[in-house]
Chains A and B, each alone.
Chain A
Amino acid sequence: MSILNYLTYGFSIALEPINLLSCFIGVFIGTLIGVLPGIGPVGAMSLLLPITFGMSPVSGIIMLAGIFYGSMYGGSTTSILVNIPGEAASVITCLDGYQMALKGRAGPALGIAAFGSFIAGTIGVIGLMLIANPLAEIALKFGPAEYFSLMFLGISILIYLTQGSILRGFTMAGLGIFLSLIGQDLNSGKPRFTFGLQGLIDGVGLVPMVMGLFGISEVLLNLVSPEERIILKTKITQILPNLDDWKRSAKPIARGTLIGFFLGILPGGGSIISSFVSYAIEKKFSKNPEEFGKGAIEGVAGPESANNAASSSGFIPLFSLGIPTNVITALLLGALMIHGLRPGPLLITKNPEVFWGTVASMYIGNVMLLVLNLPLIGIWVKVLKIPYRVLFPIILLLCLIGVYSLGNNVFDIYVMLFFGIVGYILRKKNYEPAPLVLAFILSPLLEQSLYQAMLLSNGDPTTFITRPISCGALIIAVLIILSGFIPWFKKKNNTKLIKNL
């Protein structure tokens, strides 16, 4: 079957009424949580994960994927109108988007963000479609040693890119590895690290943990340090960018798409990094770099395109290798497993409906987002006016019900509250929970690959360095770790990045 045939097959699945509805709900909620500060895409996805249990795997994944790329669209609205990013990938859009709004150009800023996101998102999906399948075929030749090394590389890159100290990133990864091992040992069947608690026999639940770390802790942080939201009282009349705006934005959109696409594939990369890199590059390429930070449309077009392209390409390693590149795709990996699917190279051949259905739904979802974001901008502005005193109790209630409905088990609520407090303390002390979650998800696979590699090589540890791909991945991982430990190198880098921005 050619790609076109597969795509037609994908559309036949994505256009089924239930999948269309799932896609719409996904992108709608994604835009909503992108607009609303206080809950990010990770929190929203974990919140809605239990709801997908009653759906078919395709509908569930379509909805969760929609939340992910939908939030990238919605995040720009708050950045431009309130100067508060709705989600982390839109932080950089605040710099020029808000300045444009102050100058009475909120409409074109929102417009170019939506169009740039649409173009980049669509190109990203085309790339996903073209690359994921061949990569999965190559990945079929990978053995446990390669998987072990690739996952180790993924965790290393994420630790390196963690904000703040690399030591803290390592600590978080170590903690994530330990937490993932709580529960029954796969080989012996004996419980380990359960401390006699029955609720821990099945291990620490991914969803209660993520909801605690990202949902509850976010609300607690906002409760103790509330951000003031001053929404511009400007009338958004002209949303369509003019010819000059298009001329100035065309190249940033193209560059942002490329940057986002390639950084999104890399483990640990993703939408946040790509938006920052895109901004730095646009500033460098610009003939008028002094305009950046004062309302340059390029500073909105590039990063917004980059974060959307990255959200599409992040699916490539997930679908073809079964390796998540960031917390959001890690959560999707968890969702695939909960739905009884085995992520990895065989997913595309064994469950083509999931892969091609999701890919096709992303085309449809991007069109839906364009419709949702431009004509309905007024509604999103109204959503922004919902006060925290109304929003936070609702978020907390949804977290409580969402976690309880996982298995009608109060123990899951305890776990969520525990991680809510842990997440609050960690974030107050500058520890990023992302490496913890990624390590938590990858560790069982990492452990399994290690055991299998040892079994296949008759206990010969050199198997990791005698196989070229495995050796290459390990060398890169070690170099990344070592480079992160050179403080002067890091300091110099940070200074450079800040200067560039």
Chain B
Amino acid sequence: MKEGVIWILIGCGICFLSWRIDIGSFREPGPGFVAFIAGIIILITGFLISLEKAFKKSFIEDNKLSETKIFNERWFQLIYTMGLLVIYSLMVQQLGYILTTFIIMFGLFYNLGKNKLFPSILASFICVTITYILFELWLKVQLPRGILPWW
């Protein structure tokens, strides 16, 4: 039920935004025309999903079988990894590629590698070195310098 309502709200939002920028008509479509149709599709399917969930229990059960909870007992891994990636995106310009990547890779290896300190440091160092050589030196990608401008 909740799932359908979320889609209905998203569909309504898209329709409203499309209407604001001019839908036009089928004969003379405006910039919001196709988006409006997309909004209507989401709105209708959201409504049908709600109905499906509310009335056709037997039909839904098939889908529910393979549906899983967003968070299970390993939720910490998910939050931790996403948290590190978000930190990476926020810090990479300031701290630079080498430092940020080393810290984040250490965080990932340390967590996934059963908290082993030295192997995690070594693996992070190898990753940073190889990717730096490959992308910065060979492929000439301008990786962020940050606080280490000489790199």
* A interface with B by C-beta (< 8 Å): 50-51, 54, 164-165, 167-168, 170-171, 173-175, 177-178, 181, 185, 187-188, 190, 192-193, 216, 219-220, 223-226, 388-390, 392-394, 396-398, 400-401, 404-405, 408, 410, 413-414, 417, 420-421, 424-425, 428-430, 443, 446-447, 450-451, 454, 459-461, 487, 491, 494
Contacts and interface: CB of A to CB of B under 8 A. Distances in A.
A328 B93 CA distance: 32
A54 B135 CA distance: 12
B38 A178 contact: yes
Interface string B62-104: 1100111111101101100110011011001100000001001
Interface string B10-26: 11001001000100001
B41 A170 contact: yes
B48 interface: yes
Top 5 nearest A-B pairs by Cβ distance? A459-B27, A174-B41, A393-B108, A389-B112, A177-B38
Nearest to B80: A223
A417 B89 contact: yes
A446 B41 CA distance: 16
Given A181-B35, A421-B82, 18 more contacts: A51-B139, A168-B49, A173-B41, A174-B38, A220-B81, A223-B74, A224-B75, A224-B77, A389-B112, A413-B92, A425-B70, A428-B69, A429-B3, A450-B33, A459-B26, A459-B28, A491-B59, A494-B62
Contacts of B21: 190, 192-193
B28 A454 contact: yes
Given A400-B85, A405-B141, A430 B67 contact: yes
Nearest to B32: A192
Assign chain B's interface to a size class. 35 or more
Contacts of A417: 82, 85-86, 89
Given A414-B89, A451-B29, A459-B28, A224 B72 contact: yes
Contact of B17 (A190, A193, A450, A491): A193
Contacts of B108: 392-393, 396
Given A171-B7, A178-B14, A446-B34, A393 B127 contact: yes
Contacts of A392: 108, 112
B125 interface: no
Given A405-B135, A429-B3, A225 B29 contact: no
Contact of A389 (B35, B67, B72, B113): B113
Contact of A174 (B29, B42, B89, B114): B42
Interface in B91-137: 92-93, 101, 104-105, 108-109, 112-114, 123, 127, 131, 135
Nearest to A166: B45
15 contacts: A165-B63, A174-B39, A175-B38, A178-B14, A178-B39, A219-B81, A223-B74, A393-B108, A393-B123, A398-B131, A401-B143, A405-B141, A410-B89, A459-B27, A491-B62
B35 A487 contact: no
B135 to A, nearest CB: 6
Given A175-B42, A413-B89, A430-B66, A393 B105 contact: yes
A400 B105 CA distance: 12
A404 B123 contact: no
Contact of A181 (B7, B34, B123, B135): B34
Of the listed residues A165, A174, A430, the one surrounded by the most CB atoms of chain B closer than 10 A to its CB is: A174
A224 B74 contact: yes
A417 B88 CA distance: 11
B84 to A, nearest CB: 9
Contacts of B38: 174-175, 177-178, 181
Contacts of B70: 424-425, 428-429
Nearest to B131: A401
A192 B35 contact: yes
Contact of A164 (B14, B44, B63, B140): B63
Contact of B34 (A188, A397, A450): A450
Contact of B92 (A170, A224, A410): A410
Contact of B112 (A220, A224, A388, A430): A388
Contacts of A459: 26-28
A165 B67 CA distance: 12
Contacts of A454: 26-29
A19 B112 CA distance: 39
Contact of A220 (B82, B88, B104): B82
A396 B27 contact: no
Contacts of A225: 68, 72, 74
A59 to B, nearest CB: 14
Contacts of A193: 17, 21, 35
Given A165-B63, A396-B81, A401-B141, A192 B135 contact: no
A167 B112 contact: no
Contact of B48 (A167, A192, A219, A421): A167
Nearest to A189: B31
A461 B27 contact: yes
A224 B127 CA distance: 24
Contacts of B86: 417
Contact of B139 (A168, A219, A405, A430): A405
